[in-house]
């Protein structure tokens, strides 16, 4: 553009000189006049030739560079009729066509990758250089327990109200760890990075292992329970039969009261052992729920009498906060009432003597919450709560929460059990 301006300035200057010279030598048309006019005329003709052969091609090429800088790959340069310049124009147009095709290919590839990430069952969270969340897919949003991406985008992991986010924040960079939360959910989390334009961008991959681990656990403890139940029941049956026979023989003998009392204790212990192993066996025999539409508030109220009895014996106050909407849910009333009774019983045992239990229902989301003022649950215990045979009670069997987990999973519910900063331990069930 500058060269073009200089050219037209020079042409205008020569024209002005030619005009001035013409006016000054108009009366005296000597040799100087003709020589000067000839030189100027030749210069003008040369300038026109120079413009067509040099200035115009350079101007065209400059326009092409502007198009390239603005990434306008759809426009093309027009040949100028100059061999060398037209060859450059041809090469440039070919390059622009290739760039257009490459850009289209990259757009299609990026679109495919976006669809792949969006539809992926694996959670993907992309962060900025300073750790703020810039993008996440639907799976990651679901794992973090948020309903909208706008609630998460632009925030740090430590700012999210999510147990999973808290655990991911503790994972060192460029490492992979398996996380087990208080809602029995299990995730494999990786904190990695990719290089874009010379900068390392952090991102997080979250893979849900819950269903696979739960199936493997269930298969393992079902096998163990069946084996133990078979051996224990066969053994206790033989022992009790023998003890009954001996007890019958001792009945006809004198001075055997003490010995018979010992025999009764042994028989009762055998029966207790049989009942104990039967409780374990019943965990793996939970029937498929017969789902039907019921009012959540009505089901909670139906268990109120039993729950009040449990609380009254321990001087625990029961508080019911049922929403006015009375949401309808799909449940097997018999199984769900057993779950509710187990949760209330565990809450009462956690409190011990004198405390409060709060039962609350809500519509958005449809949820049942049981909160207690008990001793609370530590972070170490949270990750083990729904593991088979784990119990914090001295004489616990570790099957209560397993039963609750299996029933809720069969109902398609999500749930969590943890102690919050307000010192309340909440068991939340979402339908």
The 8-class DSSP code of residue 384 comes to T
For 194, other C-beta atoms within 10 Å of its C-beta total: 10
Question: Can 120-208 and 292-430 be said to share one CATH topology?
Answer: no
Pick the residue with more confidence: 159 or 8? Answer: 159
Specify which of 76-80, 213-217, 308-312 reaches the highest per-range mean pLDDT: 308-312
Q: Which long-range contacts (CB under 8 A, 24 or more apart) does 354-357 make?
A: 354/314, 354/315, 354/316, 355/314, 355/316, 355/317, 356/316, 356/317, 356/318, 356/319, 357/307, 357/311, 357/316, 357/317, 357/318, 357/319
- What average pLDDT does this structure show over 281-306? 78
Indicate the helix (H) or strand (E) that contains 210. helix 210-251
Report the alpha-carbon distance of residue 251 to residue 244 in Å, rounded.
10
Per-residue pLDDT at 73: 64
**CATH number belonging to the domain at 292-430, selected among 3.20.20.100, 3.30.565.10, 3.40.190.290, 3.40.50.1000:** 3.30.565.10
pLDDT tens per residue, range 160-196: 888 888 888 888 888 888 888 866 778 888 898 887 7
Helix (H, G, I), strand (E, B) or coil at 323: coil
Backbone CA torsion sign across 303, 371, 359, 308 = positive
Of 86, 55, 50, nearest in space to 76 by CA: 86
According to CATH, the topology of domain 120-208 is Beta-Lactamase (3.30.450)
How far is Cα 288 from Cα 34, in angstroms, rounded to an integer? 114
Please state the rounded mean pLDDT for residues 314-327: 85
Ranges assigned E (strand) in 250-309: 292-295
Token pair recorded at residue 142: 């679901």
- Residues 107-121: pLDDT tens digits? 877 777 777 777 788
pLDDT at res. 283:
60
The arithmetic mean of pLDDT across residues 360-377, rounded, is 87
**Any idea where the domains of the chain sit in the sequence?**
2-111, 120-208, 216-283, 292-430
Q: How many residues does the chain have?
A: 431
pTM, two decimal places: 0.57
Q: Which two tokens stand for residue 66?
A: 């502007």
Tens digits of per-residue pLDDT, 407-427? 888 888 888 888 888 888 888
């Amino acid at each position: 553009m500058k060269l073009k301006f200089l050219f037209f300035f020079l042409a205008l200057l020569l024209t002005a000189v030619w005009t001035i010279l013409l006016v000054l030598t108009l009366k005296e048309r000597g040799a100087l006049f003709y020589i000067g006019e000839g030189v100027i005329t030749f210069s003008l003709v040369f300038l026109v030739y120079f413009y067509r052969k040099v200035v115009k091609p350079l101007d065209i090429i400059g326009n092409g560079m502007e198009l390239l800088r603005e990434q306008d790959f759809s426009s093309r340069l027009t040949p100028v009729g100059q061999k060398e310049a037209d060859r450059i124009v041809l090469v440039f147009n070919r390059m622009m066509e290739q760039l257009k095709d490459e850009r289209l290919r990259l757009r299609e590839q990026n679109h495919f990758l976006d669809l792949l990430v969006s539809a992926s069952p694996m959670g993907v969270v992309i962060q900025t250089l300073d750790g703020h969340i810039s993008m996440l897919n639907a799976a990651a949003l679901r794992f973090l327990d948020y309903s909208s991406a706008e609630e998460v985008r632009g925030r740090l992991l430590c700012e999210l109200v999510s147990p999973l986010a808290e655990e991911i924040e503790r994972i060192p960079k460029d490492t992979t760890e398996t996380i087990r939360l208080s809602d029995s959910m299990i995730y494999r989390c990786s904190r990695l990075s990719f290089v874009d334009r010379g900068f390392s961008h952090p991102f997080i991959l979250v893979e849900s292992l819950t269903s696979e681990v739960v199936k493997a656990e269930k298969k393992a403890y079902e096998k163990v329970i069946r084996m133990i139940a078979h051996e224990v029941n066969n053994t206790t049956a033989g022992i009790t039969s023998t003890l009954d026979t001996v007890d019958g023989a001792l009945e006809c003998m004198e001075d055997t009261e003490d010995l018979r009392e010992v025999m009764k204790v042994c028989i009762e212990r055998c029966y207790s052992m049989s009942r104990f192993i039967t409780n374990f066996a019943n965990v793996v025999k939970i029937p498929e729920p017969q789902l039907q539409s019921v009012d959540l508030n009505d089901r909670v109220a139906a268990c109120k009498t039993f729950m009040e009895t449990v609380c009254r014996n321990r001087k625990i106050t029961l508080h019911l906060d049922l929403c006015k909407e009375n949401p309808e849910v799909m449940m097997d009333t018999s199984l769900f009432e057993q779950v509710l009774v187990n949760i209330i019983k565990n809450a009462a045992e956690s409190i011990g003597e004198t405390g409060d239990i709060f039962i609350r229902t809500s519509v958005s989301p449809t949820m049942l919450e049981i909160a207690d003022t008990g001793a609370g649950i530590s972070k170490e215990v949270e990750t083990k709560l729904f593991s088979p045979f784990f119990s914090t009670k001295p004489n616990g069997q570790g099957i209560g929460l397993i039963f609750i987990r299996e029933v809720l999973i069969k109902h398609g519910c999500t749930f969590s059990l943890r102690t919050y900063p307000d010192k309340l331990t909440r068991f939340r069930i979402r339908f």
